[in-house]
């Protein structure tokens, strides 16, 4: 397959994937730093490069409401947002998931107010981690592009039929120019296939009720069905990741391991920080410290058993969280890791660091220091530490 190599930002990469997917409907409202995705996509609509019905609404709440309506009517539906926009969608995110609508969203990770901040952290995505949406994290523009293409297949699979959000780190990836390999339109179209919706409220031959009230009689059963669908998503993710690898040359799974086979200490993180961590690992290995990285790609469904198995052999673990859980115990990622290890009967010293909130930079030397700290403190710590905090 002939690939085209271009220089693109993360926003451009996601918009390009949306062009190739060519959804039936896209409803969106602009918000920094995701505005550019829809700005670029709107030019594709204007130029006749897609057949999408672009709906410009008055708010993010309305955007997701319109997406729910179009998806329920059998249309392949996409949107994009960030931060406060995602939070404004909060009510409708749960409705989209409970109605089993395979909407795909590009979410550019950005801090939640207050105080007001437009830069990167993961607090917006983490605030919606229990909304019933599949959550996919991207390290760079290439992964953002690849993940968008796969997300359509994952969300639309019959035994899944759940909405999915693909994330990138605000400004770091969304506005950073990188090398991107794009695939031929025909190959992408063939890979995603024709959309056969699970239901269609406009089908007069098979009338159904959507969004009705459900009280004590069947509400629990609805939630159990969503739970089973999220479990099914794990197999779908692996199946589609392998198929993607056969077609486009790079296979995807739940997470990526980097030099973990002989690592004494393993760092776990999400998003763009993985690239910085890889550079730190290379330098530390020159110093004789055997360390590695696990970059989580799929946060929902959370691959607990697989992560526990991958972390079983190391001596110590560092977990970096780019969001706060406010539980005084650990960040969202570390909480999940701790539960996974506990269920697997694995006791490992762990250091959890909250870092990068509001876009604060993390440097190679910062990551090297957290590896050095756990190599010295083999008992671990339940204390939540803040990396790069300005001391009084």
Position 40 pLDDT exceeds 60: yes
Burial grade of 348 (CB within 10 A; 0-12, 13-18, 19 or more): middle
Residue 103's nearest CA partner among 123, 81, 121, 87 is: 81
Q: Where are the domains of the chain?
A: 4-248, 255-386
Reported as a single tens digit per residue, the pLDDT across 3-18 is 999 999 999 999 999 9
| Integer Cα distance of 179 and 92 in angstroms | 36
pLDDT score of 239 more than 90: yes
Q: Which has the closest alpha carbon to 258: 131, 377, 151, 139?
A: 139
Which helix (H) or strand (E) segment holds residue 230: the answer is: helix 219-248
Give tens-digit pLDDT for 360-390: 999 999 999 999 999 887 777 778 899 999 9
Ranges of beta strands (E only) in the chain are 4-8, 25-28, 53-56, 77-81, 104-109, 134-137, 164-169, 178-182, 255-258, 265-270, 291-296, 298-300, 316-321, 350-354, 384-386
pLDDT over 80 (residue 290): yes
Span 124-144, average pLDDT: 98
Instruction: Quickly count helices (H) and strands (E) in the chain.
Output: 13, 15
- Quote the mean pLDDT of the chain: 96
Give the C-alpha separation, 199 to 178, whole Å: 40
The rounded distance, in Å, linking the Cα atoms of 89 and 87 is: 5
Q: What is the pLDDT of residue 109?
A: 98
Question: What is the pTM (predicted TM-score) of this model?
Answer: 0.97
Identify the three-state secondary structure at position 100. coil
Residue closest to 78 by CA, chosen among 137, 122, 19, 130: 19
> Which one, of 171, 153, 172, lies nearest residue 161 by Cα?
153
pLDDT band at 391 (very low <50, low <70, confident <90, very high): confident
What is the mean predicted confidence (pLDDT) over 265-282?
Answer: 98
Q: Which CATH class is domain 4-248?
A: alpha beta
Read off the pLDDT of residues 45-74 as tens digits, 9 standing for 90 and up.
999 999 999 999 999 999 999 999 999 999
Q: What local confidence, expressed as pLDDT, does residue 392 receive?
A: 52
Q: What pLDDT shows up at residue 198?
A: 87
Cα distances (Å, whole numbers) of residue 42 to 30, 38, 45, 52, 60: 11, 6, 5, 9, 17
The predicted pLDDT at position 48 comes to: 98
pLDDT of residue 353 exceeding 80, the answer is yes
Cβ neighbours of 245 (radius 10 Å): 13
Q: How far is CA 257 from the centre of its chain?
A: 17
CATH assignment of 255-386?
Answer: 3.40.50.920
pLDDT of residue 201: 94
pLDDT digits (tens, 9 = 90+) for 140-188: 999 999 999 999 999 999 999 999 999 999 999 999 999 999 999 999 9
């Amino acid at each position: 397959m002939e690939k085209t190599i271009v220089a693109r930002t993360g926003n451009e990469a996601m918009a390009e994937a949306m062009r190739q997917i060519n959804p039936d409907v896209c409803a969106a409202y602009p918000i920094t730093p995701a505005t550019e995705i829809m700005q670029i996509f709107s030019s594709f609509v204007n130029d006749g490069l897609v057949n999408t019905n672009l709906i410009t609404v008055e708010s993010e709440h309305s955007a997701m409401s319109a997406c729910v309506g179009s998806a329920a009517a059998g249309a392949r539906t996409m949107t994009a947002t960030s931060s406060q926009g995602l939070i404004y969608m909060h009510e409708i995110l749960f409705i989209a998931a409970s109605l089993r609508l395979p909407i795909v969203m590009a979410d550019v990770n950005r801090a939640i107010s207050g105080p007001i901040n437009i830069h990167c952290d993961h607090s917006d995505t983490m605030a919606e981690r229990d909304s019933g949406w599949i959550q996919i994290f991207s390290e760079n523009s290439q992964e953002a592009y690849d993940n968008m293409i796969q997300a359509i297949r994952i969300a639309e699979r019959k035994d899944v039929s759940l909405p999915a959000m693909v994330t990138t780190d605000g400004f770091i990836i969304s506005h950073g120019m990188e090398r991107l390999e794009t695939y031929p339109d025909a190959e992408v179209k063939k890979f995603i296939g024709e959309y056969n919706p699970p239901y269609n409220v406009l089908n007069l031959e098979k009338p159904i009720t959507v969004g009705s009230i459900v009280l004590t009689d069947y509400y629990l059963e609805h939630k159990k069905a969503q739970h089973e669908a999220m479990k099914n998503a794990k197999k779908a993710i692996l199946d589609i990741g392998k198929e993607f690898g056969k077609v486009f040359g790079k296979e995807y799974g739940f997470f990526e391991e980097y030099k973990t086979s002989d690592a004494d200490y393993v760092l776990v993180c999400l998003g763009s920080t993985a690239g910085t961590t890889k550079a730190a690992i290379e330098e530390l290995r020159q110093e004789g410290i055997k360390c590695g990285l696990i970059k989580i790609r799929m946060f929902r469904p959370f691959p607990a058993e697989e992560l526990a198995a991958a972390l079983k052999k190391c001596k110590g673990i560092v977990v970096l969280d780019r969001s706060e859980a406010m539980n005084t115990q650990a960040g969202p990622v570390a909480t999940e890791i701790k539960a996974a290890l506990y269920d697997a009967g694995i006791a490992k010293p762990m250091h959890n660091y909250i870092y990068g909130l509001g876009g604060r930079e993390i440097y190679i030397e910062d990551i090297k220091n957290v590896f050095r700290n756990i190599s010295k403190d083999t008992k671990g710590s339940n204390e939540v530490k803040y990396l790069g905090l300005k001391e009084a």
